[in-house]
Structure 1
Amino acid sequence: MGQFSKVAAALALASIVHGQCGSGTPDATVNGAVGAYTATKGSQQVYSGSNYYQAIQSALDSIGSGQRVAVIASGSIGTSSISIGSGKIFEGCGTIDVGYRAAHGAIESLGTTGVQIPYLSMTGNPYFGLWFYGVTDLALGEINMDLSDGLGIRFERDKAANSNVSMDKITITGAGSHAVETWNIDGLTIGSVIARDVGECGLLLQTTTNARVGLVDGDNVATGTGYATFRMANNNGQLADGSYTPNVYVDKVVSRGGGRGVFCVSESGGAVIAEVDLANNGNNAILIENCYGVEIQSGTVQGGGEVRISARTEFENTRDVSITLTVNSNTVRESPCGEDISWTISGDATQNIC
């Protein structure tokens, strides 16, 4: 088992050890059904009424750091935002339906330490399903979102940075924007991101360093756009000293249809992708553009848009790229020529490289 698979396995084991959603004795619970919800902490009832959001927030507000809330009931929070404070553990066992609140998350944790969301089931059309910034030691477990629009998980761009973030298994269907979008994370571990019928990226990493990702799997992701199942952008992987020493590791990227498969752009790099499995992408299967220190070690590309190394004039030329692939029913192109580029291509692809 490779080092990246070990990371994914460790995350999965952590979820198993934790137990099932709502198991054991949570410190607080939310029970009931539409029109009649109760929130209880121990033997004390902290909310009773028809407002699902108020029941959840009351339960959260009743606990302290290191304590756990299990939301057993299903319902709709409308356009409200659930806020999770430092050290609290939130389990969404029922299905939480959410609405659109501009520039907010349906569930958010901002400027916090040690928040855990081991389980979550969400439906609806949020602005952001989950929204974070300024977080340390955040742990997301088994997160399932079946959305009709919106963006799944967002770490904010122009706010405080984040460190030591982990995600186990993220499954997002139907987002109009990205499934998972990161900004400003140092220390990120992801078991898997599974994206289905998503409008933009499956996993988009930006200004994120020291990342370990097991699997990115996209089907019908970014159709008709320049986005990709897996995209690195905006200086992703660039270390504090400006270098691109490898620090972003991805075990495998799988992409079917949609837009691009793998896309690295805008002075990103420092990345090693162990394997790709790409087929019938509607845009470039792979595009490496103004990136530095990128290695794709193995895999296959079948049909779809071309595999290309490129560069725009506003950034330094693409350099230090190594690609080993089997490519069929496609083309491989390097234009303009990069610097220190290594190609090892098998299959029947037409090659136009420097």
Structure 2
Amino acid sequence: MSFTGNPKRRLRLALAAAAVVFTGALGAVAVPEAALAQGCGAGSPHATVTGSSGAYVTREGGTTVYSGSDYRAAVQAGVDSISSGQRVAVMASGSIGANTITVQSGKTFEGCGTINVGNRSGRGAIESLGTTNVYIPYLKMTGSPYFGMRFNGTTGLRLGDIDLTLSGGLGIRFDRDAAWNYEVRMDDVYVSGAGSHAVETWNIDGLDVYKLVAVNVGESGLLVQRSRNVWVGLVDGNNVGAGTGYATLRFANNNGQLANGSYTTNVWVDKVVSRGGGRGVFCVSQSGGAIIRNVDLASNGNNAILIENCYNLTIQAGTVNGGGEVRVAARSEFPNTRDVWITLTVNNTSVRESPCGDNVNWYLSGNGSRNVC
């Protein structure tokens, strides 16, 4: 994948692709991507969880640290047994019920088996709170959690190949009323069956999402809120937010607003693909500072695109085919929508600007009807 957006971030991303660095008691430890690419549990993990239902064994080096029937206890024992800069590979599958696995600073957690989870109110099935340099390169999760994964106050968090095949709940959540997160990276995230959002973020300074696929999700695919310095490669939503005002990609709650209150461009999205469901792209509630390079939207059940009280937003190219209208709008409780540039081919649906925004620039082709200022 090419690196786009802010040049300084491109350099940081290129360096990150070369090696993953953990900082432990002995200093920085680099783990080359090539070694991690061998597969989940490859090489010599510092701890492993093996076995099957009713008989799990956790070993750290040559020491058995857990043996028994409790899958959650076996997994947590493996995490707790390793030190910063080390990794645990959970090879066994099982169910943790309505409980939580906690990952501490500097640790690498590989979920190679399938972890089935229950609903623990207000909590994540997997959590890492107030931590530094946590890496979860692999995870397979099923079940109906409150939050599949929950984070806040992290620095240097990285999520790799994440597969959340759920039957309810919310996929990945960064808490609203909690400490900020810095330098968060998600490589390849797949979420299906969530009753709420696939990925919901708050309070992140430095967010990179390479690829997110959301399928049959009740609310948003990627919902980014009160965050800045964001780069997204691809968001791909199929039947996301059907019957709701949510969207495959949604910016909300002052997303992209910098600390000085300005909306200088600091959010970049390479591509959004959306089929069916609710909205395709939605920028709302004093968000902005964003460039979306390309969209491919079709048959969305609500607005294909809605730009509402959004400031400094550019959509550089793409197509909208059928579904709900493309609209620029505003609510009276916020300052009017302003500084918008839209270049699109729109077919088989309408384009409308109401009320008129300030400095809204349309560059349209296609057969869609137009009612713009």
Q: Return the TM-score normalized by structure 2.
A: 0.93
**Separation (CA, whole Å) in 1 of partners of 2:291 and 2:165:** 31
**Separation (CA, whole Å) in 1 of partners of 2:270 and 2:229:** 14
Q: State the structure with bigger RCO (CA 8 A, min sep 6), 1 or 2.
A: 1
Find the counterpart in structure 2 of residue 122 from structure 1.
Answer: 141
Q: CA deviation at 1:17?
A: 4.8
CA distances 1:289-321 after superposition (whole Å, capped 9, x unpaired): 000000000000000000000000000000000
Whether the 8 Å contact between 1:280 and 1:302 is mirrored in structure 2 is yes
Find the counterpart in structure 1 of residue 299 from structure 2.
Answer: 280
**Separation (CA, whole Å) in 2 of partners of 1:49 and 1:216:** 41
Q: Secondary structure at the match of 1:171?
A: strand
- Give runs of aligned pairs for residues 77-88 of structure 1, distance below 5 A: 77-88=96-107
Q: CA deviation at 1:2?
A: 5.2
**Separation (CA, whole Å) in 2 of partners of 1:56 and 1:175:** 24
CA distances 1:237-288 after superposition (whole Å, capped 9, x unpaired): 0000000011000000000000000000000000000000000000000000
**Separation (CA, whole Å) in 1 of partners of 2:252 and 2:34:** 34
Find the counterpart in structure 2 of residue 104 from structure 1.
Answer: 123
Whether the 8 Å contact between 1:122 and 1:145 is mirrored in structure 2 is yes
Tell me if 1:31 matches 2:50. Answer: yes
Q: Secondary structure at the match of 2:80?
A: helix
**Separation (CA, whole Å) in 1 of partners of 2:79 and 2:284:** 41
CA distances 1:199-243 after superposition (whole Å, capped 9, x unpaired): 000000000100010000000000000000000000000000000
Find the counterpart in structure 2 of residue 329 from structure 1.
Answer: 348
**Separation (CA, whole Å) in 1 of partners of 2:347 and 2:35:** 43
Whether the 8 Å contact between 2:3 and 2:13 is mirrored in structure 1 is no
Find the counterpart in structure 1 of residue 36 from structure 2.
Answer: 18
Give the number of equivalent residue pairs. Answer: 354
- CA-based RMSD of the aligned residues comes to 1.5
**Separation (CA, whole Å) in 1 of partners of 2:53 and 2:35:** 32
- Give runs of aligned pairs for residues 253-268 of structure 1, distance below 5 A: 253-268=272-287
Q: Secondary structure at the match of 1:59?
A: helix
Whether the 8 Å contact between 1:12 and 1:168 is mirrored in structure 2 is no
- Give runs of aligned pairs for residues 170-181 of structure 1, distance below 5 A: 170-181=189-200
**Separation (CA, whole Å) in 1 of partners of 2:49 and 2:112:** 10
Equivalent of 2:223 in 186, 199, 204: 204
Find the counterpart in structure 2 of residue 214 from structure 1.
Answer: 233
Q: CA deviation at 1:13?
A: 7.3
Find the counterpart in structure 2 of residue 89 from structure 1.
Answer: 108
Letter in 2 for 1:114: N
Q: Secondary structure at the match of 2:183?
A: strand
**Separation (CA, whole Å) in 1 of partners of 2:368 and 2:84:** 57
Letter in 1 for 2:262: S
- Distance change (3 Å), C-alpha of 1:11 and 1:124: farther
Q: Which runs of 5+ in 2 are unaligned?
A: 20-32
Whether the 8 Å contact between 1:11 and 1:191 is mirrored in structure 2 is no
Give 4+ residue runs of structure 1 displaced > 6 Å after superposition.
5-14
Q: CA deviation at 1:18?
A: 1.7
Find the counterpart in structure 1 of residue 3 from structure 2.
Answer: 3
**Separation (CA, whole Å) in 2 of partners of 1:3 and 1:343:** 27
Whether the 8 Å contact between 2:247 and 2:281 is mirrored in structure 1 is yes
Q: CA deviation at 1:10?
A: 8.1
Q: CA deviation at 1:179?
A: 0.2
Letter in 1 for 2:229: N
- Give runs of aligned pairs for residues 223-302 of structure 1, distance below 5 A: 223-302=242-321
**Separation (CA, whole Å) in 2 of partners of 1:165 and 1:171:** 17
Q: CA deviation at 1:80?
A: 1.1
Q: CA deviation at 1:8?
A: 8.6
Q: Which runs of 5+ in 1 are unaligned?
A: none
Tell me if 1:51 matches 2:99. Answer: no
